[in-house]
Amino acid sequence: MSPSMTPKKKLFEQFARVAKSLASSNRLELLEALAQGERSVDALAQATGMSVANTSHHLQILRDSGLAESRKEGLQVIYRLSDDQIPVLLGSISRIAEKHLAEVDRIVREHFDVRDTLTPVGRSELLARVKDGGAMVIDVRPAAEYQAGHIPGAVNIPIDELPHHLEALPQGQEIVAYCRGPYCMLAFDAVATLRQAGYQARRLEDGFPEWKAESFPVDTGTPDAEP
């Protein structure tokens, strides 16, 4: 960096470091995984299908750019997002891409919109319906992600276990499913399974990270009772 650069240009150089770290589909996927809760390098490698070495490399870039933080836990290195607003940043990127990139619009229409034509449930609407008992909420992410943080009152039924819990779900009450974000297929699969079994079901408009980023209430741990 040239010493003659203006303070504004120096700032833009640093902003560019953050933007450059986002210019990788692997790192964007890692950020989505970290938005569910802190995880070890091994767990992140498993979640994203990358090698441990490649995962560690990308995580170091995210840490150096200020988007992730790490700590040691025995022999494991545990990573977490540095800021709860990072999902908001990722959401802005995706919305701009959907609006202005024809290929993104095509992928969303062909692989997401066709899976569910009903309007998803908004966050404020869901919060109100949960308070008045108008809906049951299910979190279809893996148990570890649910325990790290979830919507208050949501019941954790991982997607692969959902068929075994159908008979325990209430009839005559809408069921709202959510997972990791707007492009997570788990909620789409859950809604399809529920509707096929005769339940009234819809998806949350996005996922848990967006819920948390908007400062909606969050619980952690495992409830005493589940269906």
Which residues are identified as catalytic? 179
Q: In this structure, is the dihedral angle defined by the CA atoms of residues 74, 42, 86 and 36, taken in order, positive or negative?
A: negative
Asked if residue 88 lies in contact with residue 182, where contact means CB atoms within 8 angstroms, the answer is: no
**Nearest-10 Cα torsion for 193, 197, 201, 205:** 10
Helices assigned H by DSSP within the chain = 7-21, 25-34, 41-48, 52-64, 86-100, 102-111, 123-131, 143-148, 185-196, 208-213
Tokens of 66: 């200020």
- What is residue 135's DSSP assignment? E
- Give the list of residues 6+ apart from residue 123 with CB closer than 8 angstroms, or none: 204, 205, 206, 210, 211, 214, 216
Rounded Cα distance between 7 and 130, Å, is 49
Tell me the C-alpha to C-alpha distance, in Å, between residue 22 and each of 11, 81, 109, 124: 17, 13, 24, 30
What is the Rg, in whole angstroms, of the alpha carbon atoms belonging to the chain?
19
Task: Give the contacts of 30 (CB within 8 A, at least 6 positions apart).
Answer: 44, 48, 55, 58, 59, 62
